[in-house]
């Protein structure tokens, strides 16, 4: 089994698709194709001789020329200054202004990095006192993807969990946030609140009211807000809309809008681009002390984002528009992707709703389904005998018996006595269909075996 796991991690192409990997939020790894426009621009920047041919649409060439003209020596091979290739920084700023309304943020408040988690760790580095008796704490959701928490721990920080409410669609509840903070004060110096919206692993999209509540809480309790919004383009439910923390903050007006310190993270790894391997992400800082920003510059300047990742961000922030030669294809590709994933979500709910012993809160957004599995006592017993968590045991058996690779809820945290599984819904439709088929067969047998 470990060998299978290793084979997955190596990405070695197997001669037949016996095993399905829907464990990670890696759309392109799962088989979703990259957007043509991104890759054409990237190729032209990499090998500018292509600009002289008639192989590429004019808007691709124009974008590539524009980006290259702002690279030192006209080459992607050069280092870039803070905050990145100037055009990219400007495009991100304009993107934020279009998304949120209001003035474009100063590019000096935007830092581009090799992926959003890298930027997050840099900001944590500014916040966290990791040595000595007083250690900084950050409130983190349960369930939560592991990377941020490990990042925090590696800096010597303390993660203090607040439980999202599964019965209410995994929403964030203020009572629970208050409880967590009160507890935190006893064991660390809480300094920040980390929110993931849309969520990972639960696919909840925060309402505007909930965001307002959190902002008020942050102001009142003096917490720095770290908002991970990498799934902002991944929204599926019809009556739900993503709204950025920054926008809500601005609309709330003073004292909130000019006081609450906020770092908002985004990335080219998710959404329609799915360019996880290119490592392009950024953080926008709002209301940060200008003296601290100077130190942020030093920290970020040591690790500039790779130029391919910056090119991906450029397309994220400034995609083809109506009237551009590449627009029809871009529009078609993104629409097809959205339609397919929405269909995936529908299918997932259809199938899971009909399976006894599994229930799933609505996947409003994000990249995953995080259903709850009601494991029978005999299965719990067996897992205990094998020395592993029950949901790990379930996932292991799933992999062994049906070749489907997913991850267990214990990896993300969950309420004691509950068990979950996580799988990625940003995968090709046929992969999801195949997976669901295997899951149904396996689950039915498993529940029977341990009844």
Q: Is residue 274 part of the contact set for other proteins (CB under 8 A)?
A: yes
- Minimum CB distance to other proteins, residue 425 (Å): 16
- Minimum CB distance to other proteins, residue 353 (Å): 26
In whole angstroms, how far apart are CA 251 and each of 100, 102, 181, 211?
10, 10, 26, 11
Among 54, 239, 254, 323, binds other proteins (CB under 8 A): 254
The contact pattern for other proteins, residues 278-317, with x = CB under 8 A and - = no contact, is xx-------xxx-xx--x--xx-xxxxxxxxx--------
Burial bucket for residue 406 (CB in 10 Å: 0-12, 13-18, 19+): buried
Q: Are 370 and 142 in contact (CB under 8 A)?
A: no
Number of residues that bind other proteins (CB under 8 A): 125
Nearer to other proteins, 205 or 426 (CB): 426
Burial bucket for residue 47 (CB in 10 Å: 0-12, 13-18, 19+): exposed
Residue in this structure with the two tokens 């060439």, named with its chain if needed: 61
The alpha carbons of the chain give a radius of gyration, in whole angstroms, of: 22
β strands within 235-312, DSSP E: 262-267, 281-286
The contact pattern for other proteins, residues 348-387, with x = CB under 8 A and - = no contact, is ---------------------------------------x
Q: Are 286 and 261 in contact (CB under 8 A)?
A: yes
Q: Is residue 147 part of the contact set for other proteins (CB under 8 A)?
A: yes
Binding segment for other proteins (CB under 8 A), chosen from 87-95, 101-109, 169-177, 410-418, is 410-418
Among 100, 228, 411, 434, binds other proteins (CB under 8 A): 411
Report the distance separating Cα 324 and Cα 330, nearest Å: 10
Among 15, 255, 356, 377, binds other proteins (CB under 8 A): 255
Nearer to other proteins, 18 or 291 (CB): 291
Burial bucket for residue 233 (CB in 10 Å: 0-12, 13-18, 19+): middle
Binders of other proteins among 326-355, rule CB under 8 A?
none
Nearer to other proteins, 181 or 243 (CB): 181
Report the distance separating Cα 52 and Cα 121, nearest Å: 41
* Six token digits for residue 103: 């003035």
The contact pattern for other proteins, residues 150-189, with x = CB under 8 A and - = no contact, is xx-xx-xxxxxx------------------x--x-xxxxx
Q: Give 168's DSSP letter.
A: G
Helix (H, G, I), strand (E, B) or coil at 312: helix
Among 13, 14, 209, 448, binds other proteins (CB under 8 A): 13
The contact pattern for other proteins, residues 95-114, with x = CB under 8 A and - = no contact, is -------------------x
- Minimum CB distance to other proteins, residue 161 (Å): 6
Nearer to other proteins, 299 or 440 (CB): 299
Of 201, 204, 205, 223, the residue nearest 146 (C-alpha):
201
Q: Are 119 and 281 in contact (CB under 8 A)?
A: yes
Binders of other proteins among 33-72, rule CB under 8 A?
33-34, 39-40, 42-44, 46-47, 50, 53, 55, 71-72
- Minimum CB distance to other proteins, residue 270 (Å): 11
- Minimum CB distance to other proteins, residue 241 (Å): 27
Nearer to other proteins, 10 or 239 (CB): 10
Residue in this structure with the two tokens 């290119």, named with its chain if needed: 278
Q: Is residue 423 part of the contact set for other proteins (CB under 8 A)?
A: no
> Helices 390-402 and 377-386, interaxial angle, to 10°?
90
Nearer to other proteins, 19 or 237 (CB): 19
- Minimum CB distance to other proteins, residue 171 (Å): 20
Residues 6+ away with beta carbon under 8 Å from 233? 242, 270, 271, 272
């Amino acid at each position: 089994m470990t060998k299978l796991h290793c084979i997955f991690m190596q990405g070695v192409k197997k001669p037949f698709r016996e095993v399905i990997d829907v464990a990670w939020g890696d759309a392109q790894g799962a088989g979703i194709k990259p957007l043509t426009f991104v890759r054409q621009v990237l190729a032209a920047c990499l090998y500018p001789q292509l600009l002289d041919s008639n192989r590429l649409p004019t808007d691709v060439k124009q974008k590539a020329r524009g980006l290259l003209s702002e690279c030192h020596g006209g080459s992607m091979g050069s280092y870039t200054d803070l905050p990145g290739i100037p055009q990219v920084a400007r495009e991100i700023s304009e993107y934020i202004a279009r998304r949120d309304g209001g003035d474009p943020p100063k590019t000096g408040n935007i830092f581009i990095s090799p992926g959003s988690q890298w930027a997050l760790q840099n900001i944590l580095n500014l916040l966290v006192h990791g040595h000595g008796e007083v250690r900084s704490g950050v409130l983190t959701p349960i369930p939560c993807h592991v990377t941020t928490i490990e990042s925090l721990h590696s800096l010597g920080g303390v993660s203090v969990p607040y439980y999202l409410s599964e019965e209410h669609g995994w929403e964030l509840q203020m009572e629970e946030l208050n409880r967590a903070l009160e507890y935190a004060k006893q064991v660390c110096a809480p300094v920040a609140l980390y929110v993931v919206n849309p969520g990972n692993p639960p696919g909840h999209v925060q309402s505007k009211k909930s965001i307002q509540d959190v902002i008020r809480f942050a102001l009142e309790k003096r917490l720095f807000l770290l908002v991970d919004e990498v799934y902002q383009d991944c929204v599926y439910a019809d009556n739900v809309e993503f709204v950025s923390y920054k926008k809500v903050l601005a609309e709330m007006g003073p004292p909130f809008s000019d006081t609450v310190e906020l770092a908002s993270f985004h990335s080219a790894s998710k959404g329609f681009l799915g360019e996880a391997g290119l490592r392009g992400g950024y953080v926008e800082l709002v209301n940060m002390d200008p003296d601290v920003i100077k130190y942020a510059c030093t920290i970020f300047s040591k690790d500039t984002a790779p130029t391919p990742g910056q090119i991906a961000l450029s397309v994220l922030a400034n995609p083809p528009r109506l009237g551009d030669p590449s627009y029809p294809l871009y529009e078609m590709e993104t629409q097809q992707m959205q339609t397919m994933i929405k269909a995936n979500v529908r299918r997932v709910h259809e199938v899971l709703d009909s399976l006894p012993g599994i229930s799933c809160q609505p996947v409003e957004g994000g990249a995953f389904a995080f259903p709850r599995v009601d494991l029978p006592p005999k299965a719990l017993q067996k897992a205990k005998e094998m020395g592993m968590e029950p949901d790990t045991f379930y996932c292991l058996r799933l992999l062994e018996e049906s070749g489907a690779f997913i991850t267990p809820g214990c990896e993300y945290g969950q309420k004691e006595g509950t068990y979950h599984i996580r799988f990625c819904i940003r995968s090709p439709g046929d992969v999801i269909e195949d997976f669901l088929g295997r899951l149904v067969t396996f689950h039915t047998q498993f529940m029977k075996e341990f009844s």
